[in-house]
Amino acid sequence: MKVVFNTTKNILPHIIIIALFILMLIGVISYARGYRFNLQEGTISSTGIISINSSPKGAKVYINDELRGATDTNITLPYGQYDVEVKKEGYSSWKKSVVLKGEIVMSLNAVLFSKNPSLTPLTNIGVNAVHSVGNTDKVILVSETGDAEQDGIYLFEPSGNPVTLFPPLKLLVLRSLVPETVNFASAEFTYGPRYRQTIITFSNPGEGEFGDTTKNIAVDVPEKISYLISLDEENLELFEIATSIDDIIAKWHEEKNKEMVKIIETLPKSFQKIASDSFHIISLSPDEKRVMYLAKDDASLPKVIDPPLIGANQTEEERDIKENGLYIYDKKEDKNYFVPIEIPFEKTSVIKSKKETISGAPGLPDLVDEAVATQVLDMVRWYPTSDYIVIKEAETISVLQYDGSNKETVYAGPFDRSFFGISPDWNLMVIINLNPQNNEYGDLYSVGIR
């Protein structure tokens, strides 16, 4: 009996120590996973963490209208529904309603835009027309003001760096190289697959006039004149491509279509057939995680990730797409969102049949319709963060998150509605004439919305 007592006496402290260690370990693990003891109710409940970042930093964070700190911060809360608001003086506020689950870290990124945008001139040459270079941030400017040394076609390459080695405005073609009979401001541009080249086409109102009035001999003047030029350097000589333009465009179209097929192949396998048949892919987000597309037909998108990823975007999605609706598909989270904007398609713009194939490439579906893409990009463009898009409306320019939330008007001043763009420094680019009584032409301006 004495032996048992002594054995128990020696072992019991070790058992107690081990038990306490196990309890402490369980407590540490539970705490790390978000479980908290409620002293008032005497219960243990799971918590989650809301990680809130903002640009610019140092914004105030409100949870259910209660100030909880400043960004960038992590806030631990019991599971439940919360209204999150991020505010900073001089900037628009950002709001989001979320359902926080226990043991989950939810990341929120708020981009705040200035309530008082600034204007900075980017050019001073006088602009007759402006064209976006596809989905890039490059811009082509057409200038014909009567200045023989300056009039021409320019490429503007904005830079996010405050100091650049080369000026952003590059002369491509002098006006003096083009026949006087052409309508210079009417220039139309067709771009190569990697935006290294473009075909410039001018209308020629000189048709039917005498080409040589001294001999009174009629000369056939083409309705249009086209040139193939480089976008990398000034073109000192121009050569017409009337006999080869169709072949060049067909070759470019085939190359662009192959690139589009590669984009389709990055989508989930169960999506690829639907995307080929029912998507007009407009553009990828800058981080290439999201796809903006126009629906060619009504369709239903299958669930690829079910149940949804933990911590995924909770904004209600739309998986039943409607013809001519604009949507954004998040490849990482398998979420599809409707973009609340109506694209006013021209009657001449015909959406291609899903049965068409590329000439010379049997079996390869024709996925490229540049007329449709151009019309969409004229109104909607990706913001550099990839979390937002920018929309040109009747008289304003607005931003909203890719899931359709947090819409905010960022510019309501004057601008030429034929163009708007986004620069790498996250500001807008517009054409404005601030003194129309004394100046016939506008110029390119940066609108500081950040």
Question: Is residue 213 pLDDT above 60, yes or no?
Answer: no
Q: Give yes or no for a cis peptide into 307 (omega within 30° of 0).
A: yes
Residue 336: which of 320, 355, 349, 347 has the closest Cα? 320
The token pair that represents 201 in the structure block: 């086409």
The token pair that represents 55 in the structure block: 């640009």
Question: Is residue 342 pLDDT above 50, yes or no?
Answer: yes
Contact 400, 86 (CB under 8 A): no
Contact 274, 299 (CB under 8 A): yes
Average pLDDT score over residue span 355-363: 50
Q: Give yes or no for a cis peptide into 117 (omega within 30° of 0).
A: no
Q: Which residues have CB under 8 Å from 20's CB, separation 6+?
A: none
Question: Which three-class secondary structure state does DSSP give residue 17?
Answer: helix
d(CA 370, CA 82): 43
pLDDT value, residue 296: 92
Per-residue pLDDT reduced to its tens digit, 252-277: 999 999 999 999 999 989 889 999 99
Question: Is residue 27 pLDDT above 70, yes or no?
Answer: no
Give how far the C-alpha of residue 383 lies from the chain's centroid of Cα atoms, to the nearest Å: 4
What is the number of helices (H) and of strands (E) in the chain? 4, 31
Contact 358, 261 (CB under 8 A): no
pLDDT value, residue 321: 95
d(CA 242, CA 201): 10
Per-residue pLDDT reduced to its tens digit, 156-188: 988 755 545 456 899 999 999 999 989 999 999
CA angle 112, 283, 446 (to 5 degrees): 45
Question: Which three-class secondary structure state does DSSP give residue 31?
Answer: helix
Question: Is residue 6 pLDDT above 80, yes or no?
Answer: no
Q: Which residues have CB under 8 Å from 258's CB, separation 6+?
A: 364
CATH classification code of 34-111:
2.60.40.1120
pLDDT value, residue 351: 44
Per-residue pLDDT reduced to its tens digit, 425-438: 889 999 999 988 88
- Categorise residue 42: left if φ over 0, alpha if ψ from -120 to 50, beta otherwise: left
Question: CA torsion sign, 57 to 60 to 64 to 66?
Answer: positive
Counting every residue written for the chain, the total comes to 450
The token pair that represents 190 in the structure block: 């067709």
Average pLDDT over the chain, rounded to an integer: 84
Average pLDDT score over residue span 364-370: 81
Confidence band for 204, pLDDT divided at 50, 70 and 90: confident
pLDDT value, residue 360: 46
| pTM for the structure as a whole | 0.82
Q: Percent of the chain having pLDDT more than 70?
A: 80
From the number of C-beta atoms within 10 Å of its C-beta (0-12, 13-18, 19+), residue 342 rates as: exposed
Confidence band for 220, pLDDT divided at 50, 70 and 90: low
Per-residue pLDDT reduced to its tens digit, 71-117: 989 999 888 899 999 999 999 999 999 888 877 888 899 999 999 99
Average pLDDT score over residue span 213-228: 66
Domain definitions of the chain by residue range: 1-32, 34-111, 118-234+413-448
The token pair that represents 291 in the structure block: 């796809």
Question: Is residue 444 pLDDT above 80, yes or no?
Answer: yes
Confidence band for 366, pLDDT divided at 50, 70 and 90: confident
pLDDT value, residue 214: 44
- Categorise residue 65: left if φ over 0, alpha if ψ from -120 to 50, beta otherwise: left
